[in-house]
């Protein structure tokens, strides 16, 4: 799809008021957990959100640290500047935008990389704009789970390139050292061996034994969660 058509799609998307669902809340909670780790190391990390939408999340981080956002949609950036005047917003294509090199301490990428055609280049840009030792917080859907769900990916955005845990780690480690990898939000998928992993009797048995947290911890590290989350540091 041409860039102008992508901009048109996202302009129409962000022109409509939307409320966040519980899945987005759980991803945001995980990002805040990672952000807290970075804040312990860097008092005021200059932070940029790549693909910030209408700015609501990065503006919240902006209550704790200097923050910027970049978004492809002109409509989203217009709304973000109007609603959150204390956060700096840029409109443009992340892959082509004239960022300052080694300028930021932290890059946040929430559910964006799966909508980028050249994912390796996207991570190269993220690394290039980070200072030495800077941090990346990234979340993205999990192809491993989507491949075992009836109907698969439900997003239907112009570009859909959902990645598996193995592919994501390979992409990230080309530029970063992964500090923490987790997958979150379980019990999705009922095709193939997921039918047994997510069987209600199996889930219920762990709950009765008080081992639900142990089960979720194992599934998280093995990449059985609906979304992948990681904290990484620039090499």
> Tens of pLDDT along 111-156?
999 999 999 999 999 999 999 999 999 999 999 999 999 876 677 8
The predicted pLDDT at position 184 comes to 97
In a domain, 216, yes or no: no
Q: Which two tokens stand for residue 220?
A: 């998280």
Q: Quick one: pLDDT at residue 229?
A: 98
> Residues 10-26: pLDDT tens digits?
878 888 877 878 889 99
Number of domains the chain contains: 1
CA distances from residue 133 to 34, 50, 88, 127, 177 in whole angstroms, order as listed: 15, 18, 23, 10, 10
CB 58 within 8 A of CB 15: no
Question: Residue 150: which CATH number?
Answer: 3.40.50.150
Choose among 69, 59, 112: nearest CA to 91. Answer: 69
Task: Kindly state whether residue 212 falls inside one of the protein's structural domains.
Answer: no
What pLDDT, on the 0 to 100 scale, is given for residue 153? 66
Question: 207 lies in a domain?
Answer: no
Of 160, 159, 46, nearest in space to 104 by CA: 46
The pLDDT tens digits of the residues spanning 147-180 come to: 999 876 677 888 999 999 999 999 999 999 999 9
Residue 203 lies inside a defined structural domain of this protein: no
Helices (H), the chain: 3-14, 22-41, 56-61, 74-83, 119-129, 143-146, 165-173, 194-197, 200-208, 212-221
Segments forming the whole domain that contains residue 149: 3-185+226-234
Residue with tokens 């860039």: 3
Whether 8 shows a pLDDT value over 90: the answer reads no
Domain-located, residue 198: no
b/e map 25-59, b = 16+ CB within 10 Å: ebbbebbeebbeebbeebeebbbbbbbbbbbbbbb
DSSP 225: S
The answer to whether position 105 is within a domain reads: yes
Under DSSP, the state recorded for 229 is E
- Asked if 189 and 227 touch (Cβ cutoff 8 Å), the reply is no
d(CA 68, CA 32): 16
Whole-prediction pTM:
0.94
75 within domain boundaries = yes
Q: Is residue 179 included in any domain, yes or no?
A: yes
């Amino acid at each position: 799809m041409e860039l102008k058509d992508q901009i048109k799609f996202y302009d129409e998307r962000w022109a409509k008021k939307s409320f966040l669902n519980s899945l987005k809340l759980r991803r945001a909670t995980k990002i805040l957990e990672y952000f807290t780790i970075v804040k312990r190391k860097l008092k005021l990390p200059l932070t940029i959100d790549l693909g910030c939408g209408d700015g609501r999340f990065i503006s919240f981080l902006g209550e704790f640290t200097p923050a910027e956002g970049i978004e492809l949609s002109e409509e989203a950036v217009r709304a973000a500047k109007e609603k959150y005047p204390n956060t700096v917003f840029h409109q443009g294509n992340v892959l082509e935008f004239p960022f300052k090199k080694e300028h930021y301490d932290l890059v946040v990428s929430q559910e964006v990389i799966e909508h980028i055609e050249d994912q390796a280049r996207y991570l190269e840009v993220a690394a290039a704009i980070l200072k030495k030792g800077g941090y990346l917080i990234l979340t993205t859907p999990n192809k491993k789970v989507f491949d075992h769900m009836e109907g698969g990916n439900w997003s239907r955005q112009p570009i859909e390139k959902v990645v598996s845990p193995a592919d994501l780690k390979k992409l990230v480690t080309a530029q970063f050292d992964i500090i923490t990898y987790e997958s979150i939000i379980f019990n999705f998928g009922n095709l193939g061996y997921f039918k047994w992993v997510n069987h209600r009797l199996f889930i219920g048995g762990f709950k009765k034994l008080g081992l639900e947290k142990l089960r979720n911890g194992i599934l998280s590290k093995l990449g059985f969660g609906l979304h992948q989350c990681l904290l990484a540091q620039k090499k």
